[in-house]
Structure 1
Amino acid sequence: MTEKYSLDLLSKSNPVYLSLFVVAICEGHQGHSGRPIEIPSIYLALPICCSNYFQASFSNTNIKTGIFSWLTKQQETIYMIPQSIRNTSKFTNSAIQFCAQARMIEINESGEVSVKKNGHKALTTQSKKSRTPLKRAMNFGAWISDIGDSKDLFSALGIKA
């Protein structure tokens, strides 16, 4: 039991593995809205989409569910998101840096991130088991693209700047 937990923790702190979540949330956002995602919004990918705690909240959801429908069902756990972002921010930083260095993403002068060809390729080569959490991140990226900017998104999640 401890060995499985250790392996899970190790994989969830690996920038290469976590870079897939960065690409997935960017891909979902960009694919749904046609716009790049703002960097602050990417910090939601790991604590929400990669976490086992929120995993059940994605059952019976799809790309059409939408952020507000999902949030309505998450009222009892939404208070955990700010602390979860703080707990995972250094891992998100490393994943974003890895993605940029590997040319999986491109960051423009406004702090918006778009997926490049290498990023698309990385997502399509994943095993079926890996695709489930990545699909959550892609759907979540699509959902949050309906809100507008990061400030409005974080406000909807009850996170103060």
Structure 2
Amino acid sequence: MIVAHDVFSETNPAFCAYALVGFTEAFMTVNDDGPELPVAYLSLPVALSGDLRDSFERTNKNTGLLEWLERNPQIQIGLADRVNGSMGIVTDAIRFGCFSRVLQVDDRARLRLGPRKVKRSTIKALSEGLAQPLKRAERLGYWFAGAGSTKTIFDMMGLTV
């Protein structure tokens, strides 16, 4: 059996906005301030990367960013290129999320949940292949919030702000 991989569906603004909602929601359960925008630009390409999906196996929301990175040092290889290459996708996702009012950007450049809620039934109807990036985005939300500041997160990931 040949399995087709639909890259377009995983990079369209609506899908990516849903991933950012999950990321933001998880982040805000740990840190009510919400994630700063640069962290969104780091989280989405990592969550969407199919080649990193195995690194999330045997993890949960309590694993933590540092432990995950220690188990999987290969994550840092090419990470800057991955982030730079996905900037347009993340920007479109943030715009879509704000226009559809499921996300907001506050006056401190932090992502917040908007007044409209994402229907969980829509997400539950997704195939397992499409649901996994959303779950990874949520997990990163917990880990990034627990790691501390944006600078700390970028330092841990081997990037500079």
| TM-based fold match above 0.5 | yes
**Offset, 1:2:** 9.3
**8 A contact 1:23–1:123 mirrored in 2:** no
Mapping of 1:3-152 within 5 angstroms? 4-5=4-5, 8-118=6-116, 120-123=117-120, 125-126=122-123, 127=125, 129=128, 130-152=130-152
| TM-score for both structures, normalised by structure 2 | 0.89
Which has the higher mean CA deviation after the structures are superposed, 42-51 or 127-136?
A: 127-136
Letter in 2 for 1:108: D
Consecutive unaligned residues in structure 1, runs of 5 or more: none
Going from structure 1 to structure 2, the CA distance change for 1:28 and 1:124 (only over 3 Å counts) comes to farther
In structure 2, C-alpha distance between the alignment counterparts of 1:55 and 1:93, rounded to whole Å: 23
Describe the superposition over 1:58-109 as per-residue Cα deviations: whole angstroms up to 9, x where unpaired.
0011111111110101212312211110111100000000001111111111
Letter in 2 for 1:48: V
In structure 2, C-alpha distance between the alignment counterparts of 1:48 and 1:108, rounded to whole Å: 24
Going from structure 1 to structure 2, the CA distance change for 1:116 and 1:11 (only over 3 Å counts) comes to same
Q: Secondary structure at the match of 2:118?
A: helix
How many residues in Structure 1 have an aligned counterpart in Structure 2? 158
Consecutive unaligned residues in structure 2, runs of 5 or more: none
**8 A contact 1:107–1:114 mirrored in 2:** yes
Describe the superposition over 1:106-161 as per-residue Cα deviations: whole angstroms up to 9, x where unpaired.
1111101111242x424553125243221111111110101222122111111022
Letter in 1 for 2:110: E
Describe the superposition over 1:24-81 as per-residue Cα deviations: whole angstroms up to 9, x where unpaired.
1111101222221100000122221111011000001111111111010121231221
**8 A contact 2:105–2:111 mirrored in 1:** yes
**Offset, 1:17:** 1.2
In structure 1, C-alpha distance between the alignment counterparts of 2:120 and 2:76, rounded to whole Å: 28
Q: Secondary structure at the match of 2:30?
A: helix
List, as ranges, runs of 4+ consecutive aligned residues in structure 1 with deviation greater than 3 Å: none
| TM-score for both structures, normalised by structure 1 | 0.89
